[in-house]
Amino acid sequence: MSATEFPACPQCGQPNTYPDADLFICPDCAHEWSAQATTDEDDTGPRVIKDAHGTPLADGDSVILVKDLKVKGSSTVIKKGSKIKGIRLVYDNGDHDVDCKTEQGPFILKSEFLKKA
């Protein structure tokens, strides 16, 4: 990594970050993370997506919601305990990393609100 190439912010994805001692700082969202954590993530390979209890998820798994989720821009609510079959993991969509279909329609959900069935 050269002096002019700094990693994009892991929280908001903006590329205009800068170093400050042992940290990288994002001026857009004020997120701070260690430079060591950035180099560790690059060496580990593909990211492992885990559910609310820390169990690794895989494509095709069935999951259960652990919390009622309000659908943004709608009055629809996906209820706690709803079982979702045949999930697909998405690695390039920020923190919404599980693509699925429910009775209310298709959604991209955060894995932190799911548990493996």
Average pLDDT over residues 76-93: 93
Q: Summarize pLDDT for 1-34 with one digit per residue, the tens.
A: 444 678 888 878 788 888 887 888 888 888 888 8
Domain-located, residue 57: no
Domain-located, residue 53: no
Enclosing domain of residue 105: 63-116
Residue 69 CA to residue 57 CA, distance in Å, equals: 20
Residue 15 CA to residue 36 CA, distance in Å, equals: 18
pTM for this predicted structure: 0.60
Question: How many domains would you assign to the chain?
Answer: 2
Residue 1 and residue 29 in one domain: yes
| CATH number, domain with residue 18 | 2.20.25.10
Q: Summarize pLDDT for 29-78 with one digit per residue, the tens.
A: 888 888 776 555 555 557 889 999 999 999 999 999 999 999 999 999 99
Residue 39: the pLDDT is 52
The HSE-up count of residue 53 (CA atoms within 13 Å, CB side) is 9
